[in-house]
Amino acid sequence: MKLSNDKNRISETVNYVEFFAASNQFQSLFNEGMGLVEETANYLDGGGRVESRELSRPQALAYASESMRLTTRLMQIASWLLLQRALKNGELGVEEIKRDSNRIKLSKRSVNDVTTLIEELPAKLIDLIHKSFDLQVRLQKIDKRFWQSIDEHAPAQTGAREQFNKLKASFGDIY
């Protein structure tokens, strides 16, 4: 971002990708996400094991199912955060982020999609599920803005390259 000499007005568009990755907001989000991963791992390996033994068979099945979904969701969140941090630290460029982000899918599931037995699960697991969905929703909004910013700053493509990229987006790398 450059400032002009007259009255410190911004003279060019801020690149959201670079701005967000370098912000305190991102660092806070990163810490929150990684903290949630650690909190969940500690719970599932400790108190959650004890609590799951006290559940009825249907509840235990719901516990196992939701804890696996929670773990998967958190691994996707952690992967997204690590990619953003790698961009911030200059370890990866935007092109590598584009390539690697195809492997990361922030789920479209919401807390409303959780098993009907959620009320019968341990309170700590329910809390972790809600926290993970809240974080996922925030990351989805940031991710959408991230890709909009990439598109805004991308050079215009010409006919053949544009068609090739559309094919690649539809079918992936086939060579």
| CATH number of 104's domain | 1.10.8.930
pLDDT (tens digit per residue) in 116-143: 778 889 999 999 999 999 999 999 888 8
**Does residue 108 sit within a domain?**
yes
Q: Dihedral through CA 33, CA 35, CA 38, CA 39, nearest 10? A: -110
Which band of pLDDT confidence, cut at 50, 70 and 90, is reported for residue 35? very high
What separation in angstroms does the CA of 109 have from each of 55, 95, 136?
25, 28, 9
Residue 1 in any domain: the answer is no
> Looking at the domain assignment, is residue 7 inside a domain?
no
Residue 6 inside a domain? The answer is no
Task: Provide the pLDDT for residue 158.
Answer: 53
Q: What pLDDT, on a 0 to 100 scale, did the predictor assign at position 81? A: 92
Domain membership of residue 135 as a residue range: 16-171
Confidence at residue 6, expressed as pLDDT on a 0 to 100 scale? 44
Q: Is residue 156, in this structure, part of any structural domain at all?
A: yes
Least confident of 23-32, 45-54, 84-93, 144-153: 144-153
Does the structure show a pLDDT above 80 at 94? no
**Is 30 a domain residue?**
yes
Residues 6+ apart with CB under 8 A from 142: 20, 29
Give me the number of domains the chain comprises.
1
**What's the chain's average pLDDT?**
79
Tell me how far apart the alpha carbons of residues 147 and 138 are, in angstroms, rounded to a whole number.
15
Cα separation, 48 vs 59, whole angstroms: 13
- Whole-model pTM? 0.72
Regarding predicted confidence, which is higher, 157 or 22? 22
